[in-house]
Structure 1
Amino acid sequence: MKYHREQLFGRWYNTDTDEKGIQTSEYAELAADGSFEITFLTFDDKGEVCDKVVELGDWGLVGDIHFTITKSELIAKELYAADLADSGNYHAYRVLQLDNQIFEYQHIETNEVYKLRRVADTVGHC
């Protein structure tokens, strides 16, 4: 299936709880210029943030393949350049579902599936 990059412009989120009860959240902003900012939060058992990592980089969509290149990380208000020679900063995914509310995709190598929901820009409107 072919998707259009424009479908991904905007803000997306996911919140999940693992088998140990640890809650994590992901907030992604995908810009029209191909840049991204993704914030990963981990919460303790009291619901307070115990870890926060912000990744910045480039993204793209070709057919049903979504890809990201992490170029820097913001940790504790310090910006660190990513090692662009590290293959761990490059990811490719197959899009499973993409519409105006849901973005579901699967990592090409690990087969892990992610499902994000669009963040509404206007509160209180359907």
Structure 2
Amino acid sequence: MKKFVLVLTLLTLSACNSSLTSTDEVPHDKPQLTLSQEEKWNKMVGKWYGKQTVKGGGKRQWIVERKKDGTYKIHFRIHKENGKISESSEVGQWAISGPVYLSMFRGYIRDNEIDPVDPSDPYNYDAYEILELNEEIFKYRHYELNATYTLKKVAEDFKFPE
């Protein structure tokens, strides 16, 4: 009986060893943030402004305000080719991990109320490569669309130019 238990134990242990999904070793815990990661996070906080042409004509302006707690509010102003202007506002969450900027859209602002979107809808999540980030410029590229956006840091009381 002892031999049977020993064989069974050895077989169980060898089965556990062979069930690894990878031979790569990983750390036990997530390491503390590096200073550069914390600096990137802090640089993202505040108000940023962008204005770019839109494929097919027109221009898009946006002001995004990111808070240190990882939330954001963004206001869009779209200038269509026919001269019409439309505006919309959104809220969500943002994050940075290494060279990646993440945006999680949570809802529209309508009549000063948040109209939430479905958080299980993958459409509401975006990942971007950070191309440049300093105290004045934030340039990033959408991984799926391959579109590049450039924002300038602005004062807290900044409003859209007329």
Quickly name the TM-score band, shorter chain normalised.
0.7 to 0.9
Moved more, 77-86 or 95-104: 77-86
Letter paired with 1:110: L
Moved more, 50-59 or 98-107: 50-59
Task: Answer with 1 or 2: which has the greater Rg.
Answer: 2
Residue of structure 1 in register with 2:132 after alignment: 97
Instruction: Give the one of 79, 82, 107 matched to 2:142.
Output: 107
CA 122–30 in structure 1, closer or farther in 2 if over 3 Å, else same: closer
CA 33–22 in structure 1, closer or farther in 2 if over 3 Å, else same: same
CA 111–18 in structure 1, closer or farther in 2 if over 3 Å, else same: closer
Residue of structure 2 in register with 1:29 after alignment: 65
Residue of structure 2 in register with 1:43 after alignment: 79
Residue of structure 2 in register with 1:59 after alignment: 94
Aligned partners of 1:104 and 1:115 also within 8 Å: yes
Residue of structure 2 in register with 1:17 after alignment: 53
Give the 3-state SS of the residue equivalent to 2:106 in structure 1: strand
Inter-partner Cα distance in structure 1 for 2:108 and 2:157 = 29
1:120 deviates by 2.9
Inter-partner Cα distance in structure 1 for 2:119 and 2:141 = 23
Q: Which runs of 5+ in 1 are unaligned?
A: none
More helix by proportion, 1 or 2?
Answer: 2
Inter-partner Cα distance in structure 2 for 1:77 and 1:97 = 33
Give the 3-state SS of the residue equivalent to 1:97 in structure 2: strand
Residue of structure 1 in register with 2:119 after alignment: 84
Instruction: Give the one of 40, 44, 50 matched to 1:8.
Output: 44
Aligned partners of 2:49 and 2:151 also within 8 Å: yes
RMSD after superposition: 2.3
TM-score, normalising length: structure 2:
0.66
Aligned partners of 1:52 and 1:75 also within 8 Å: no
More strand by proportion, 1 or 2?
Answer: 1
1:17 deviates by 2.9
Aligned partners of 2:57 and 2:80 also within 8 Å: no
